[in-house]
Amino acid sequence: MYSLTSQLRLLCTCPCILFCFGFSCFVPKRVKRTATEGPCRMRTNRASRCHEVDLPRLLACEQLSTCSSPHAMPHFIALNIARQWALRKTVILASYRQSRTMSTLLINQPKYSWLKELGLKEENDGVYNGTWGGKGEVVTSYCPANNEPIARVRQATMAEYEETVQKAKEAWKIWADIPAPKRGEIVRQIGDALRKQIKVLGSLVSLEMGKIYVEGVGEVQEYVDVCDYAVGLSRMIGGPVLPSERPGHALIEQWNPVGLVGIITAFNFPVAVYGWNNAIALICGNVCLWKGAPTTPLTSVAVTKIVAGVLEQNNLPGAICSMTCGGADIGEALAKDERVGLVSFTGSTHVGKKVSLMVQERFGRQLLELGGNNAIIVFEDADLNLVVPSAVFASVGTAGQRCTTTRRLMLHESVHDDVVARIAKAYKQIRIGDPWDPNTLYGPLHTKQAVEQYKQALDQAKQQGGTIVYGGKVMDRPGNYVEPTIITGLAHDAPIVQTETFVPILYVLKFKSEEEAFTWNNEVKQGLSSSIFTKDMGRVFRWLGPKGSDCGIVNVNIPTSGAEIGGAFGGEKHTGGGRESGSDSWKQYMRRSTCTINYSKDLPLAQGIKFE
């Protein structure tokens, strides 16, 4: 058997060889085998640039018609040879292109062989509902550090989405009957399974999302931690017994699961956000259907494989934790589906608004975690040794792609110049490089589109009066690297300052008074995270009070990022109002009933009403 390269050389030098040797010796075995099975399409995604080949259509040109004229025979034979040559060349070229594309996938390179430890391969199923599948579009996942393809995922079709929802609803009938502490035991096992794979899964997050390795591992650790939290919570959730005003009556609150929870997550935290929702939803008695970000599908597949393994070991339906990789069509179906008891959406305010309207249209329940235009306020009495590392970490961590990233740094006029100089000096020392290098502190943006957003934001900032103190350039290296940037001189209400741009640009503002700073903090549309640095305890409590920060996360002497799982995570206004993870966030995954039980032989009415 000739190699594909050899075959191509032969095709180019002597088309007649095809006629002499016949069709079979030049068609790769995979294509030859499927050619007899009916319409065969060598499916790839657009990024691979491989042509689709419809063999029956091509073979139609091979059909020999009856030729009654002997004079036409030479012409007929020549025409047939040309047709056969064109057919075989098309098939071989397509096979060659696909083979070449497969060989360039990172998963096939020895350096990235660890990906196979997570059960990943060249082309992966993107649907799980107890069985694996995927008949939709094939998408390629790219590494942001070099824009090279990692592997592929076959997304869900709408028919597969429908099948998955039906299986999830059936699985809920089993899961809801299991006592909450027993459900907690399953979640504990999920946490243990994640612990065993924490380094390799963290490496995948780093490779596919672009955040540095320690952040990737830390993100998986968040899922592990919330599993531990949920295990304890499984023995504590419940409503109070309330005093009844009627004798012989009991008044209680009963909490029950909402049923099916649809979880739509974003690219920047492809593991942790699912974990916050999944662990809490499970112990509450719900089943989950996950649609991860289209640009991090390998992480979704890898996490689901780990969770599915735990369910299978316990002889539980895999559809308890289902997954459908897909695009806007799957997300829209989740939002509009009345069988979905809660839609938890994490993403931009723009898309979140659309999701919210679709869910509200059917009077559904939603949990929204959207954007944040977060500020750190530094007063004249602040400890600058705390301020500088806090501001740097919160503004450049995850390359500015956290919802809690500090985007506005408000400095009292007495410390403004000193703090700017210190932070600019610190920016110069940031180690930029491959995200999986343990010495790297700052990696790439997630996509090329994010690089364009960075450039557009810089142009707008300069047009609106801003001065670039540090950075401001796209880096000349493979991947989606940009310089972390500091901009001063803008007005607090400049349009670009009021806009959340998901890139590492820090806008530095100068203020004069506490009232002014608090007002500026609250004037943006989002209300996720905020922080002040001060030693004045009176100011601290004013900041925490009704006239202080209007955000869901209100910090003192720590940065805006780095929330703990024990507290409720979420924000106000255009951030969406949802709460995930700790505190009483579990209530969002359950429905409450107020129950009155009459254990007497009388029938007294409330408020002393008599009806005789």
pLDDT one-digit tens code per residue, 204-260: 999 999 999 999 999 999 999 999 999 999 999 999 999 999 999 999 999 999 999
In this structure, the number of other CB atoms found within 10 A of the CB of residue 439 comes to 9
Averaged pLDDT, 153-182: 98
Residue in this structure with the two tokens 């091509």, named with its chain if needed:
58
DSSP 27-81: S-HHHHHHHTTSS------GGGTPPP--HHHHHGGGPPPP---GGGHHHHHHHHH
Percent of the chain scoring above 90 in pLDDT? 81
Among candidates 561, 547, 457, which has minimal Cα distance to 502?
Answer: 457
β-partners of residue 149 are: 142
**Per-residue confidence band for 43, with pLDDT thresholds at 50, 70 and 90:** very low
Helix (H) or strand (E) holding 376: strand 374-378
Q: In angstroms, rounded to a whole number, what is the distance separating the alpha carbons of residues 411 and 422? A: 13
Residue 378's DSSP bridge partners are: 411, 533
Q: Which residues contact 204 (CB under 8 A, 6 or more apart)?
A: 115, 118, 120, 216, 298, 299, 302
Spell out the alpha helix ranges (H) of 464-572: 514-522, 537-544
Pick the catalytic residue from 123, 222, 369, 500.
Answer: 369
Rounded to whole angstroms, the Cα distance separating 150 from 209 reads 11
19 CA to centre of own chain:
53
User: Model pTM?
Assistant: 0.84
Residue 3: per-residue pLDDT: 45
What the chain holds in terms of domains, given with CATH numbers, is 125-370 (3.40.605.10), 374-564 (3.40.309.10)
Specify the DSSP element, H or E, that contains 124.
Answer: strand 123-125
Is 90 exceeded by the pLDDT of residue 478? Answer: yes
CA atoms within 13 A of residue 465's CA, in its CB half-sphere: 10
Q: Is the pLDDT of residue 461 over 80?
A: yes
Tokens 């839609």, located at residue = 343
C-beta separation of 544 from 446 below 8 A: no
β-pairing, 127-128 with 321-324? antiparallel
pLDDT at 490 over 70: yes
Over residues 141-166, mean pLDDT: 98
Cβ neighbours for 565, distance < 8 A, ≥ 6 positions apart: 222, 225, 226, 229, 276, 581, 582
Q: Please, are residues 312 and 306 in contact by the beta-carbon 8 Å criterion?
A: no
Cα separation of 94 and 55, whole Å? 12
Which of 329, 400, 404, 412 has its CA nearest to residue 371? 404
Query: How much is the average pLDDT of 259-278?
Result: 98
Q: Which residue has the higher pLDDT, 6 or 548?
A: 548
Backbone angles phi, psi at 556, to 5 degrees: -135, 125
Q: What pLDDT does residue 562 have?
A: 87
Cβ neighbours, 10 Å, residue 463: 11
What's the pLDDT at 605?
86
pLDDT band at 90 (very low <50, low <70, confident <90, very high): low
Residue 561 predicted with pLDDT over 50: yes
Contact 333, 310 (CB under 8 A): no
Instruction: Work out the average pLDDT over 124-143.
Output: 98
pLDDT score of 18:
37
The mean predicted confidence, pLDDT, of the chain is 88
Task: Give the separation between CA 93 and CA 100, rounded to whole angstroms.
Answer: 10
Residue percentage of the chain with pLDDT more than 70: 83
Is residue 380 flagged as an active site residue? Answer: no
pLDDT of the residue at 609: 85
Six-digit token string for 224: 């592990």
